[in-house]
Amino acid sequence: MDAYQEPHLPNYMKDDKVTQETKSLMSSLPANKDFMGYGLYNYKGCWYYPNTLQAVLDVQKHFRPRNTDIILASLPKGGTTWLKSLVFAVVHREKYRENPQTHPLLSQNPHDLVPFLELELYANNQTPDLTKFPSPTIFSTHMHLNTLREAITKTSSPPCKIVYVCRNIKDTFVSGWHYRNMLHRTKMDEATFELMFNGYCSGVLLYGPYWEHVLSYWKQSLEDKKNVLFMRYEEIIEEPRAQVMRLAEFLDCPFTEEEEKSGSVEEILKLCSLRSLSNLEVNKKGTTRIGVDSNVFFRKGEVGDWKNHLTPHMAKTFDEIVECRLRGSGLVFQ
């Protein structure tokens, strides 16, 4: 069977939305295949499936953020779903204070509340209606900062805020492995696990290499602290309260003393916890607007799950690659 005919394959992995212009661009780009044989193209240092590349180009060409917009950025499996819920809950907290039972996070998947630019909005539409979302509008993306920057710098508004979340490569990889098994509705074998591991090590994976992506946002967060916040999944797990308060401070909506005393931060953490979200009917069934089942985004949410899956050699290889690639940047993973 042609790989692209596989049932349940989300649109972003396919190649049927590519324009003639993009096809001709693709013919000049470095090409490769992911661990399952799906074609990847390297555009400005980052790997994309054909339809994802098309949407990324459309975001660059047409998306012009307003300075009140908030963009959440991450690598897939880096904590995107959690960040989307937390930011939505923090930013819109006043609206649902009186009637918490009407909170949209109880009835909609976080990915449908905070749309992906390239995986949803611009996936099949060069001029999506961006006015239908509540203000301030929260968008999300997996795009590398250098690619996103083309859109940001072309806007006439002052820069918008960007929040980046990252996670150590070993857990990101293992989470990605489970995700792909769920996506393809199969249990892939050990040989395929190794192929995917090799893809991560060489950087050939959607939005990879990992280190280039992380570094692009890390460097900008040092240069522009007012507009770019760098967060870590592990830190949110370790000190959730402090990290949510940091997030609110950065987004210019700090918790008041009264809110702190009345348990507002804890309420948000509870609402956005893996346990609460994954137990909601809306997140147990159905499909998100990017064409991926809603339940696929929730699994264990632990730090160090890689120990259950990687051989000591694989773990060491990841550590060495990341240490080498990040050397001198000030960014360190334990």
Separation of CA 114 from chain center: 11
Beta pairing partners, 228: 162
> Is the separation of the CB atoms in 74 and 142 below 8 Å?
yes
Q: How far is the CB of 281 from ligand A3P (least distance, A)?
A: 16
Residue number with CB closer to ligand A3P (57 or 114): 114
Q: How far is the CB of 272 from ligand A3P (least distance, A)?
A: 5
End-to-end CA distance of the chain: 43
| Total of chain residues touching ligand A3P, rule CB under 6 A | 22
Residue number with CB closer to ligand A3P (30 or 304): 304
Respond yes or no on whether the N-terminal peptide bond of residue 136 is cis (omega within 30° of 0): yes
Rounded alpha-carbon distances, angstroms, from residue 213 to 46, 81, 196: 8, 18, 18
Residue number with CB closer to ligand A3P (9 or 182): 182
Respond yes or no on whether the N-terminal peptide bond of residue 110 is cis (omega within 30° of 0): no
Q: Is 274 in the site for ligand A3P (CB under 6 A)?
A: yes
Residue number with CB closer to ligand A3P (48 or 173): 173
Q: Is 109 in the site for ligand A3P (CB under 6 A)?
A: no
Distance between CA atoms of 17 and 278, rounded to whole angstroms? 32
Q: How far is the CB of 201 from ligand A3P (least distance, A)?
A: 19
Helices then strands, each counted (H, E), the chain = 15, 7
- From 14-22, 34-42, 130-138, 266-274, span contacting ligand A3P (CB under 6 A): 266-274
The catalytic residues are: 142
Q: How far is the CB of 242 from ligand A3P (least distance, A)?
A: 16
Q: How many residues does the chain have?
A: 334
For 249-316, give the DSSP string.
HHTT-PPPHHHHHTTHHHHHHHHTSHHHHHHSHHHHSSB-TTSSBGGGG-S---TTGGGGTS-HHHHH
Q: How far is the CB of 179 from ligand A3P (least distance, A)?
A: 7
The residue from 301, 310, 314, 322 that contacts ligand A3P (CB under 6 A) is: 301
- The binding track of 154-183 with respect to ligand A3P, each residue x by CB under 6 A or -, is -----------------x---x--x-----
Beta pairing partners, 165: 74, 231
- The binding track of 65-104 with respect to ligand A3P, each residue x by CB under 6 A or -, is ---------x-xxxxxxx--x-------------------
Per CB under 6 A, residues contacting ligand A3P are 74, 76-82, 85, 171, 175, 178, 272-274, 277, 297-301, 305
